[in-house]
Amino acid sequence: MTRRRALLASSLGLPAWPLAAFATDRAAAPPATERVLRYALPAAETGFDPQQISDLYSRTVTGHIFEALYDYDHLARPQQLVPMLAEAMPEIDALHQTFTVRLRRGVLFHDDPAFQGRPRELTAEDVVYTFKRLYDPATKSSSQPAFEELGVIGLRELRQAALDERRPFDYAAPVEGLQALDRYTVQFRLRESRPRFVTALASPDIWGVMAREVVERYGDRIMEHPVGTGPFMLAEWRRSSRIVLVRHPRYRERHYDARPAPGDAEGQALLARFKGRRLPMIDRVELSIIEEAQPRWLAFLNGEQDLLQIVPPDFIGQAIPGGELAPHLARRGVRKYRVPNSDVNYIVFNMEHPTVGGLEPAQVALRRAISLGHDVDREIRIARRGEAMPAQQLTTPGTSGHDPAFRTDANAHSPARARALLDLYGFRDRDGDGWRERPDGSPLTLELLAQSDQSSRQLDEVFKKSMDALGLRVELKVGQWAENLKATRAGRFMVWRVGSSAASPDGQGAMERAYSGSIGKGNLARLRLPAFDEVYLRLQGLPDGPEREALFRQANKLALAYMPYRVTVHRIVCDLAHAPLQGYRRPPFWLSWWSFVDIEPRPTRRD
């Protein structure tokens, strides 16, 4: 069967990279039984270079291959930072401009031919190289604009020199704000006060520390060869089909030790059960890519997957009717994990597109009319099966800057107001065909990037019916999610419907969606609004408190006024797990949770 599948993959031109030959540990004979976690991702990965990727599904993988200086305590609620590659929390000066980090000693990278057969210890120079690499124009990092706003002295100038002189980035050039003081000490110096800088050092999925030898060895193929210090290593990759990771055999001594709040019964129970266990507890993770909701649901029901992350909307009635676990699943020992998600879903408009973009009053009126015409209640009721809450702002629940009491008429469903606004600004049906034209009489068609899965089709249908009621023609341009993201980042789109989850407890990341310095990266709408940029930059330097919260409200009001995004919902998500999976708990902001779960051993199987 294995040979037949390999021949079939070859005949279809499907790439497969078995990576076991790259290290002797990976080539060792597998044990008779392994603790294997199996689940499916609903969209394809793009690769595994943490500094180039931006999609959630690739980051899910890199968050376990790579490590950052800090991470989040898996059980602590509310969230709490803990040292990861660092041996302790940073030493911070009174102005919050100098952060000195001392590294753990003896942390080893995964074995790789780039290290010529020798164990390779992580050092402060690796940290310096990793953050310099963010600024290398050749890396094309989608995370660089966000990190730039933290203001590390000298990195911006080093990048600009490479661009101005059209020469390779000079990694050897000293940078005042990023220095290895000794083999195990790295120091960051910032242009301005950044009280929350340490949270920027706590995302292994995007800030994971890399070794220069590995990047230089693999060059343009670095997305296929992730080599980090994390608990798991990539063992097999069939693009858009299957991803297999195995335990890092030389992973340092690390044990289950967390600090759940005294009143957190779930966290206390997990700590009591697993305290002192060595991490990671599982041997292997097998990820399938199953984009269609029905086969993903059936794979879970049939026991082919141990975990179903986010029950697809079509099957909410079968899985959690009324928010409670269905009896037939409860009898099988399935457990549910249903929580409000810290995310926001929105319709994004290309502010550079001549049809829907621009800051002129008529263009703003068009976007506002689309917002008023979109029936969010219908979206929640029909497409999301009730598992969502209406969104009022860009910031996400559970983060700083999110005001649960904030309400605005801009997001109300009012087709009558929408039609009046369109009429007022000249978007009328001039030829009697039932569809409105632009004020100059030219055709008006909204082109929406779409995906082919059932859930996306239902969401698109709700949007299309809402626009039909306004006399606005909608055409769907169907593609894969990764393709749509690429087109959006390049500005080759008109309208897209997408979502974004919080990556930290700070709401600043959500505000990046409208910051001009992040056009082509986080600012999908490509908005250029100086008033918003000014507020965004002020948010960076203020400590948490009432003044900063007031700025968040101002930023949200600016975004609503110009409507580069029509925020729609915050999801309520439910994960399901079969009984053999133990210790699962949905993390609010971070992705690195595989080490903290256990699963009953099963016979080793190789497909």
Query: What does the pLDDT look like over 393-431, one tens digit per residue?
Result: 999 999 999 999 999 888 899 999 999 999 999 999 999
pLDDT tens-place string over residues 322-345: 999 999 999 999 999 999 999 999
Q: pLDDT at residue 25 above 60?
A: no
If one counts the domains in the chain, the total is: 1
CA distance 85 to 52: 21
Element (H, E) at 335: strand 335-340
| Cis amide bond preceding 137, omega within 30 | no
CA distance 239 to 222: 14
Q: If pLDDT is split at 50, 70 and 90, which confidence band does 303 have?
A: very high
38 within a domain of the structure (yes/no):
no
432 within a domain of the structure (yes/no):
yes
pLDDT tens-place string over residues 107-148: 999 999 999 999 999 999 999 999 999 999 999 998 888 888
Residue of 573, 572, 565 lying closest to 411 (CA atoms)? 565
Residue of 503, 506, 436 lying closest to 470 (CA atoms)? 436
Give the pLDDT confidence score for residue 285 in this predicted structure. 98
Element (H, E) at 380: none
- In b/e form, how buried is each residue of 121-144, taking b as 16+ CB within 10 angstroms? bbbbebbbbbbbbbbbeebebbbb
pLDDT tens-place string over residues 36-80: 999 999 989 999 999 999 888 999 999 999 999 999 999 988 889
Q: pLDDT at residue 23 above 80?
A: no
Report, as an integer, the average pLDDT of 71-93. Answer: 94
Give the domain extent around 421. 343-571
Give the pLDDT confidence score for residue 481 in this predicted structure. 85
Q: Which residues contact 326 (CB under 8 A, 6 or more apart)?
A: 318, 319, 320
191 within a domain of the structure (yes/no):
no
pTM of whole model > 0.75? yes
Give the pLDDT confidence score for residue 93 in this predicted structure. 97
Q: pLDDT at residue 520 above 90?
A: no
CATH of the domain at 412: 3.10.105.10
What tokens appear for 286 in the block? Answer: 């097998």
Looking at residue 297, its amino acid is W
553 within a domain of the structure (yes/no):
yes
Looking at residue 501, its amino acid is S
375 within a domain of the structure (yes/no):
yes
Q: For residues 342 and 590, is the Cβ–Cβ distance under 8 A?
A: no
CA distance 600 to 34: 8
CA distances from 205 to 213, 223, 383, 549 (A): 20, 13, 31, 28
What tokens appear for 335 in the block? Answer: 């457990």
Give the pLDDT confidence score for residue 145 in this predicted structure. 82
pLDDT tens-place string over residues 227-277: 999 999 999 999 999 999 999 999 999 999 888 988 899 999 999 999 999
Give the pLDDT confidence score for residue 454 in this predicted structure. 81
Percent of the chain with pLDDT over 70: 94
CA distance 474 to 463: 9
52 within a domain of the structure (yes/no):
no
420 within a domain of the structure (yes/no):
yes
Report, as an integer, the average pLDDT of 272-283. Answer: 95
Q: If pLDDT is split at 50, 70 and 90, which confidence band does 460 have?
A: very high
Residue of 204, 232, 78 lying closest to 143 (CA atoms)? 204
What tokens appear for 329 in the block? Answer: 């699943």
Give the pLDDT confidence score for residue 68 in this predicted structure. 97
442 within a domain of the structure (yes/no):
yes
Q: What is the mean pLDDT of the chain?
A: 92
